[in-house]
Amino acid sequence: MHGWAGLGRRLALGGLAALLALPAAAQNCRGTLYLTIDTGWSREAEEIAGILRRRGVRATLFVADEPSARGDSTLSPGWAEFWRARAAEGHVFASHTWRHWYFTGDAGAGRVRYASRRGGEGAEVLDQTALCAELERPIQALRAMVPEAKVLPLWRAPGGRTTPGAVSMARRCGFAHQGWTANGFLGDELDAAAHPNQALLARNLRGIRDGEVLVMHWGVRSRREPFAGILEPLIAGLQERGFCFETLPPEGRR
């Protein structure tokens, strides 16, 4: 019994425990998925890391220095042990900008507007040097804590919002932009009342296809039903369909 219909029958019959216990390595890959994780509020970071470890999933982690549920920020020294553990587990890293502001438009050749999404933190125009610094700074902070971390020459704009100028300027810094694919948005940023976990689980199991680049966060502050609650059955269901998980290649995926 294979596919989403078969998985649904097993869950209805109480077979979830057996499915979750399925060794991740004991499958023949019939497709490849690329899980990427942005920093976010990081409230469920340890829970998510444990799920990935149990399921044998390695992900590509896009890091920014965002406010965290611990009261610090995600690239402050208090997170060094967390990031060291992820590197030791075989996860790889890429830049998500330092401040996690949004690119709002080009301002002429070699210049791009960059503004806080919360409005009160400011806005500025970045030239080539300033943009490179914005992309390089989170990697420098990570390497100070985890010298052995494997870092890819990729970046992701906050919210996935790019401009032609930002993408071109970043390329000159040595960073290629990596978004997510058509069915890769897992929905952990959506309102939980309108998009409850079980609906997201069903949608993702039904819609994800071979080669997708998936995106989620280590926790989203505004979501009242944490997405981590369905991450393990989601991964288990995708593995049941024959998907294996890989980290992104250095050139990224389109």
Taking the C-alpha atoms of residue 237 and residue 166, their distance in angstroms, rounded to an integer, is: 37
User: What mean pLDDT is predicted for residues 125-148?
Assistant: 98
Q: Which tens digit of pLDDT belongs to each residue from 1-34? A: 344 444 544 544 444 554 555 544 445 899 999 9
Coil, helix or strand for 182? coil
Q: Which tens digit of pLDDT belongs to each residue from 31-83? A: 999 999 999 999 999 999 999 999 999 999 999 999 999 999 999 999 999 99
CATH match for 28-245 among 3.30.450.20, 1.10.10.10, 3.40.50.920, 3.20.20.370: 3.20.20.370
Please, are residues 35 and 232 in contact by the beta-carbon 8 Å criterion?
no
Tell me the Ramachandran region of residue 180: left when phi exceeds 0, alpha when psi lies from -120 to 50, beta otherwise: beta
